[in-house]
Amino acid sequence: MDQPIGGFGGNALHDSFHRMFEISRAEPPPTLEQRQDRLARLRALIKDNEKRFEQAISADFGHRSSTETLIAETLSLLGDIKHTSRHLKRWMAPRKVSTQLQFLPGKNRLLPQPLGVVGVIAPWNYPLQLTVAPAIGAIAAGNRVMIKPSELSPHFAALLQETVAAKFDASEMMVTGIEAGVAEAFARLPFDHLMFTGSTRVGRIVAAEAGKNLTPVTLELGGKSPTIVDRSADLDEVAPRIAYAKLMNAGQTCIAPDYVLAPQDRVEALAGKIWGAMQQMWGTDPANPDYTSIIAEHHYARLKSLVDDAVARGARLLQPASADDAAWAGKRKFPPTLVLGATHEMKIMQEEIFGPLLPILGYSEPTEPINFINGRDRPLALYWFGTDDTARDQVLERTVSGGVTINDCLVHFAQANQPMGGVGASGTGAYHGEWGFNTFTKMKPIFYRSPYNRFADLYPPYGAKIARLSKVLRLMS
């Protein structure tokens, strides 16, 4: 860093960072027992306040399905903590690395060490999951954690701040406020690592601010995640899986299917089946408690503008009611909407949707979906449905995305032994399980010199000794 930490001034945010930073440098790395204790306290924090978190998140949304909070947030996190606790001893152990012949019997090791202080800037769409999941990896790696919740989640943010303060010393983990100016100031702090989950637009700003301190960043962004329905797919199996993934959390999911590419002559049939599955699972009543509200009025208006633009440009809609319908708009629940006849000029095909709108486009040639996807920013997720292994493998080999689920949607996110991360405009870096531990760890390479090895004695004066050694080294190369 170019400036001393002590120069940050006296406000609470800078003081909290200063304290964490100094302790992280002064104290030895947390032991396995200390890390396990912090994970146990984090688990207790979630379990003890499960209903309170559910209520706070629902209050922020206007209405949030309690089942979706349970499945996508609470249970997911408890599973992550259990998995991490079970494997942490192995992850923390020094790792053996092979040694080149000429340096034997010396040995190489990688020593996992905490980075220090990790910052987490969290989003509003899955506030508990996307706040705590990075913290699990950071704590497991032995770091201290500062969290900045989303300003669109004030009830959740206040509860998280209260519960973290009750379970953790402020030098271990703390939650900032969400008042104006905190986000910008937070991103400017010289963290040892910064994790941001949110939009690509804001991600660019966060990365630019972090770059001023050379702070490494992990960016979990979004984009337009495509779904390819191959001609070999069974539409009766495909439809409910796409419908569920699209309408979970009312489409406010970074890895939700953003649009569908299907054989041109099967578009109408697929749309009918997806529409039927949506009605079967969620019905057409906005009072349905299983259907989640849109987070804020301006997001509702943004979704409506995407639909209006599509209709003005010739698209056809399947929806139970207009977005202007008082029964839906009054609850801020956007009617599930299928968009047929979408074209590239429509805003709905240019922006990440992040809501319950699903364009379905047709293709004629098998390579069209690959070319279509490769002509755009690399997506956070990609989904493929079908039984043709050759067609599947061609898509996997020729497209690049953050992650893939075959014959379903979203499920790759739940794999504890797989990394979660984007690529290009959809993000950089990865976390989850051991990948999260590694992200927030410095793997320090160490070489142990053996007293019996003379190859390292390449000191001058050079001459015959070096000539003899160089011959041996060439034979080894």
Q: Which residues are catalytic?
A: 220, 254
Measured over the CA atoms of residue 272, residue 276, residue 278 and residue 283, the dihedral's sign is positive
Q: Which of 149, 143, 151 is nearest to 173 (CA)?
A: 143
- Tell me if 437 sits within 8 A of 140, measured CB to CB: yes
Order of all β-strands in the sheet with 357-363: 316-318, 337-340, 357-363, 259-263, 226-229, 381-385, 403-406
The widest CA-to-CA distance across the chain, in whole angstroms, is 92
The per-residue b/e assignment along 261-296, b for 16 or more CB within 10 angstroms, e otherwise, is: bbbeebbeebbebbbebbeebbeeebeeeebbbbbe
Q: Give the integer Cα–Cα distance in Å for 365 and 117.
A: 51
Long-range contacts, 268-274 (Cβ 8 Å, 24+): 268/340, 269/235, 270/229, 270/235, 270/238, 270/239, 270/360, 271/318, 271/338, 271/340, 271/360, 273/235, 273/236, 273/238, 273/239, 274/239, 274/242, 274/243, 274/338, 274/358, 274/360
Residue 40: both structure tokens together: 């146990």
Q: What dihedral do alpha carbons 254, 259, 260, 261 form, nearest 10°?
A: -120
Instruction: Name the token pair of 331.
Output: 């609850």
SS3 category, 404: strand
3-state secondary structure of 182: helix
The three-class DSSP label of residue 258 is coil
**Sole residue written with tokens 């953790």:** 168
Residue 86: partners with Cβ closer than 8 Å, 6 or more residues away: none
SS3 (DSSP) at 320: coil
Between CA 148 and CA 176 the distance in angstroms is 5
